[in-house]
Structure 1
Amino acid sequence: MKKNVILIMTDQQRADSLGCTGNGIVKTPNIDALARRGAVFTKHFTPHQICSPSRSTLFSGKYARSHGLTRNGVALPQDVPLISHDFKAAGYTTHGVGKFHFQPILAPKEHQMPDSNAFWQLPESQEWRGPFYGFDTVDVLIGESVSATEGGHYARWLASKAPGAAALYQPENALEPQTGDIDEAWKSAIPDELHYNSWITDQACAFLKDQAASEPFFLFVSFPDPHHPFSPPAPWCDMYDPADMPTPARMPGELAAMPSYLSDGDKDEKSKSYVDFLRDPGPPREQGFLQTTSQFSDDSIRQAIAFTYGMISMIDACVGRIVQQAEQQGILDDTIVIFTSDHGELLGDHGLIRKGPSPYKALLQVPMIMAGPGIEPGNRIGTTSHLDVRATLQEHLKLNHCSTEGQSFARILEQPDGSVRQEFFAEYHPRTRMETYNQTMITEDWRVTIYPENPDWGEMFDLRNDPGEHVNLYFDDAYRPVRDRLTETLAQRFPPAADAGGVSIATY
């Protein structure tokens, strides 16, 4: 009998933000229970620290330079084979609900892209529910926080269900006046039952209710949170006391030895806040809205972390509902459940917030849990990548093999422990500042990053003695032999491709 698959993805969630991955503060009982039933991946990475490239890599099993979606604002070509196509070809029912981000949110209406807000102003959108990138049917949500009510099925549902409720997402209507100096942290006034996370869960559960036990399915459930703005609704916004939040991992002066864009980017960020950008984007800006925390108080950073944890706990409750629904339908024992995220969040580490070009571990390492048939409970799996997920599912579920650039880790799902990769490659394609294009290689002992468009920049960290990546050794003469060996390997096995990818058709 073919096994079902539920793939649950969050947006911008760090690997260390779950109880099962060592976080002693955040409450994630449902995801932790899932982890006890299956395998926890201790070093799972994405090759791209930005939303759209990472998502497309997980689905395609190819680097962004190969599938073409190298930066937000580029559309994933319709002819790129994805894991959803593999399931469809194997006779599965395929359905997706939530945030896809395979196409630019601001793509003009003439492109007729369902992942864009403009599409939902067209007559063609009225009865549209797919097909979409290998999915038979979809329930689409576009954006996050204040931008999630402009297009997509959720925006239409909310306007019909509770006219005027979209305004409750806005910071001006927060449950309490904003405090602190981070303008994108507030207690959202949207009721829990109207929030997009609840709607996504409702749609996922409705799909599960409609599935007969004899029909295999692939269900993709994609939550926009805990992506900034940091704006959970009640009761989640009050779940954590900022005073109890961890102190970000940073060392005085560490950014002085790093590429200068990490600090001088503040000049751009101060010109318009992220919330204002969502309301009126204006000219393109670099992806991720990377910013130093120099202008924020420690109390404000802790508030942002508390709200992030609140969003994670809300998602955990949603995951619990989905698993419970599968159990009620009598299909959980025949279903593989996967939980992961597209990329991470700095949350004050290194004196930085949000995400951006620099491939810190807080951005590249993400949670990954797999539970279900053929997966050994309690298994701890080492270095793997989003690049490997499609190849793994093909092998584990005996789907037709389609060529990918990943390595299957199916063979170690049933073993006590294991690792797939000796090294791992990552790449960042910028939107506006080409010199920030970078390539990274991570081994068990080292992380090296080069900037082919700017040889004055580079990063190298001794992960044995500096696992938090605080002391940049790239230009330290004592480490030049190590640097030269690593960069030569990187150049040979993952040569520069700064110009790769499709044409940008929108700001994001």
Structure 2
Amino acid sequence: MARNILWIMCDQLRFDYLGCAGHPTLKTPHIDALAARGVRFTNAYVQSTICGPSRMSAYTGRYVRSHGSTYNGVPLRVGEPMLGDHLREAGMDCVLLGKTHMIPDTDGMARLGIEADSLIGVRNAECGFDPFDRHDGLHPSEHPGGGGEAYQAYLRAKGYEGDNLWEEWTNSADGPAGERLNGWLWAHSDKPARVAEEDSETAYLTDRAMAFIDSAIAKGKPWCAHLSYIKPHWPYLAPAPYHNLYGAEDLLAPVRSESELADPHPLYEAFTQERHALTLCREGGRERVIPAYMGLIQQIDDHLGRLFAFLKDRGIADQTVIAFTSDHGDYLGDHWLGEKYLFHDASVKVPLILYDPAPEADATRGTTSDALVEMIDMAPTFLDLAGAPPKPHVLEGHSLLPLLHDPKAVLARDYVFSEYDFAADQVRIKLGTSVQESRLTMVFDGRWKMIDCRALPPMLFDLESDPDELFDLGREPGYGMIRARLFDAIRRWYHDGRNRISCADTDFTQADDLLRIGADPVLKQGVVIGYWDEAELATAQALFARAGG
């Protein structure tokens, strides 16, 4: 029986802000129940710590150094193979509901004569998906291509009034005198959004997912639906009643130490001086922001409860694989930082739960896996689920399906990698690095995490003795051999880039039997190279014929 795939991705959800991940007060019963039915991966890492490049790696199954979309706003080049392309070859529809942060390569499409509104043009602009409803959480008039037009029309049809309904209702709160308050400002995070909860973005996208699933059932074809919520990403503003479900008493103590600020790495120090870091670390900053962040997470969980019940009611719960994850985390004041960008676990590690309803997965239900996995593993996993042949010359990740079916399975990976390009950040100006030097590469082997800062010293953390990553050993004596090993791992990883994507390895190995006996496979093409005379050529042709060429 063909299985469907429901791929749920949150935006900026930390790995440890779920009940099943050990958060003591945050209520996520539906996500926890999903983990109890599937496998929860405790060492899942994204390939970049900001939305765009992280998602481009998820949708292509390729590292940032391979697909080239290094920063938000850097287009993914036209023609880059994407998940939707691979799944459609396997007979599966691949649709989008929500965010991608994709910027299309309009110059490339124009150069190739691809019309933006053609089928191939739309798929190139939508990360290979067929868009059912794209909504990036960006107002359409200010961010063309970011979706949101359908949500804007939905709000207007529900009776909301204004010029920019997304901004004026979803991202605004009411002041004490009835004035409209800017929900982007973190001082207002304790107030409810003006929009009704049932009309908020999370509720809307869940409803749209149900509408798609009904249409897919009528069509009778297997599908992969990417339900990509835009929350709990800022603005940190939740609709009632989620705005005040949590309070300061529910906050975890910040993971940070004064020692981090003593002789800090220059790059780390520069990021601690960014506005988002200073604001979160001000008196009362975390107390204002994090309860709203937690409320947005519980809202997602509640609507996932609706969606999971819907799958059961429609009779397809036992035919639908569910993947739940995030595109990156959120520092929330840990390490004196806000936002994401750097590579502490709060930022680069994400939740990942995979549920396969097939009987083959019964042996692993409710278990956790500490295997080193990466977001680029999603694409090969989904191809495996679709029954498609692997594409190791294109996809740089590994299928996780063996880990879902066999508790003794081992993933052949020694390191995970993540990248960040800070060329567009103010930090580059502060540090005086060139655009080409302003790139970071993280390597992690399960214990040692190193960040190669190119023109600057590396950062190094020992997560065995320092699980909170409070002590940077990158400039400390006594760790030279460890740093050298990790630098070598990065060097070998760069050399392993899968950039010959137009030919599979089998295109080269299919003549191996001929080569082993000395037969000349190019004779099949009528190509004669290096032979002295007719007798020598005849001997070679006879050997080729005997070998079955």
- Structure 1 CA distance, aligned partners of 2:90 and 2:287? 47
Could you list the runs of 4 or more consecutive aligned residues of structure 1 that deviate by over 6 angstroms after TM superposition?
Answer: 107-112, 128-131, 145-150, 175-179
Letter in 1 for 2:206: T
Q: Tell me if structure 2 keeps the 8 A contact 1:204–1:221.
A: yes
Distance 2:93 2:147 in 1: 29
Picking from 200, 214, 235, the partner of 2:241 is 235
Q: 1:174 to 1:33 in 2, by over 3 A?
A: farther
Aligned residue for 2:9? 9
For 1:350 and 1:152, the matched residues in 2 are separated by: 38
Higher helix share: 2
CA contact (8 A) 1:86 1:400 kept: no
| CA deviation profile, 1:319-371 (whole Å, cap 9, x unmatched) | 11111111111001011011000011101111111112x21111110000111
Deviation per residue, 1:390-437 (Å, 9 max, x gap): 112222331243331112222111123655222111111224223441
Deviates more, 1:471-480 or 1:399-408: 399-408
| 1:397-408 equivalence runs, <5 A | 397-403=386-392, 404-408=395-399
Contact 1:168 1:174 in 2 (8 A): no
Q: 1:155 to 1:359 in 2, by over 3 A?
A: same
Query: Alpha carbons of 1:93 and 1:317: their partners in 2 closer, same or farther (altered >3 Å)?
Result: same
Aligned match of 2:87? 87
TM-score, with normalisation over the residues of structure 2?
Answer: 0.77
Give the letter aligned to residue 150 of structure 2: H
Residue of structure 1 aligned with 2:282, choices 279, 296, 302: 296
Which of the numbers 429, 433, 451 marks the counterpart of 1:449? 451
Q: Which amino acid aligns with 1:310?
A: G
> Paired residue for 2:353, among 360, 369, 372?
369
Contact 2:189 2:292 in 1 (8 A): yes
Specify every segment of 5 or more residues in structure 2 that has no aligned partner in the other structure, as ranges: 111-115, 429-434, 498-549
Instruction: Give unpaired runs (5+ residues) of structure 1.
Output: 113-121, 271-289, 498-508
Deviates more, 1:146-155 or 1:346-355: 146-155
Judge which range, 379-388 or 459-468, deviates more: 379-388
**Corresponding residue for residue 198 of structure 2:** 193
Question: Alignment partner of 2:353: what SS?
Answer: strand
**Distance in 2 (alpha carbons) for counterparts of 1:458 and 1:198:** 43
**Contact 2:281/2:337 (<8 A) preserved:** no
Q: Is 1:244 aligned with 2:238?
A: no
8 Å Cα contact 1:40-1:380 kept in structure 2: yes
> What's the secondary structure of 2:480's corresponding residue?
helix
Q: TM-score, normalised by structure 1?
A: 0.82
1:374-394 residue CA offsets vs partner (Å, 9 max, x unmatched): 433113222111111111222
Q: Secondary structure at the match of 1:473?
A: coil
User: Would you say 1:412 and 2:406 are equivalent positions?
Assistant: no
User: How many angstroms does 1:186 deviate by?
Assistant: 4.3
Deviations 1:278-318 (A, max 9, x none): xxxxxxxxxxxx52457511x32123111111010011112
SS of corresponding position for 1:36: helix
Aligned equivalent of 1:278: none
Does 1:439 pair with 2:425? Answer: no
Aligned residue for 1:440, secondary structure, equals strand
The one-letter code matched in structure 2 to 1:324 is A
**What's the CA shift string for 1:111-152, capped at 9, x where partnerless?**
99xxxxxxxxx9x79xx9978443334201123699899843
Distance 1:17 1:37 in 2: 19
Q: Which deviates more from structure 2 when the two are superposed, residues 92-101 or residues 253-262? A: 253-262
Say whether the 8 Å CA contact 1:392–1:409 is kept in structure 2: yes
Which letter does structure 2 place at the counterpart of 1:449?
A: I
Indicate conservation of the 8 Å contact 2:10/2:229, yes or no.
yes
Question: Aligned residue for 2:467?
Answer: 467
| 1:78 Cα offset (Å) | 3.5
Q: 1:129 to 1:84 in 2, by over 3 A?
A: closer
Deviates more, 1:196-205 or 1:235-244: 235-244
Distance 1:39 1:56 in 2: 24
SS at match of 2:216: coil
Aligned residue identity for 1:217: W
Measured against aligned partners, the alpha-carbon deviations of 1:221-267 in whole angstroms (never above 9, x if no partner) come to: 00011112211111111111122211111111303344323333466
Instruction: Measure the CA separation in 2 of the matches of 1:347 and 1:324.
Output: 32
Distance verdict in 2 for CA 1:96–1:170, change over 3 Å? closer
Helix, strand or coil at the partner of 1:291: helix
Asked if 1:63 is matched to 2:63, the reply is yes
The yes-or-no answer on 1:387 pairing with 2:376 is: yes
Q: Classify 1:265/1:93 alpha carbon distance in 2 versus 1 (closer, same or farther; 3 Å).
A: closer
Residues 295 and 364 (structure 1), Cα distance of their counterparts in 2 relative to 1, 3 Å cut:
closer
Please list the CA deviations of residues 19-62 of structure 1 after superposition, one character each: whole Å capped at 9, or x if unmatched: 11111211101111111111111111112111011111111110
Q: CA deviation at 1:15?
A: 0.6
Instruction: State how far apart, in whole Å, the 2-side matches of 1:398 and 1:110 are.
Output: 32
1:311 to 270, 291, 296: 296
- Corresponding residue to 2:419 among 427, 430, 435: 427
- Judging changes above 3 Å, is the alpha-carbon distance between structure 1 residues 170 and 327 closer, same or farther for their aligned structure 2 residues? closer
* Whole-angstrom distance in 1 between the partners of 2:296 and 2:376: 27
Secondary structure of the corresponding residue to residue 478 of structure 2: helix
Q: Distance in 1 between matches of 2:51 and 2:127?
A: 17
SS in 2 for 1:94: strand
RMSD: 3.2
The higher relative CO (CA closer than 8 Å, separation ≥ 6) is in 1
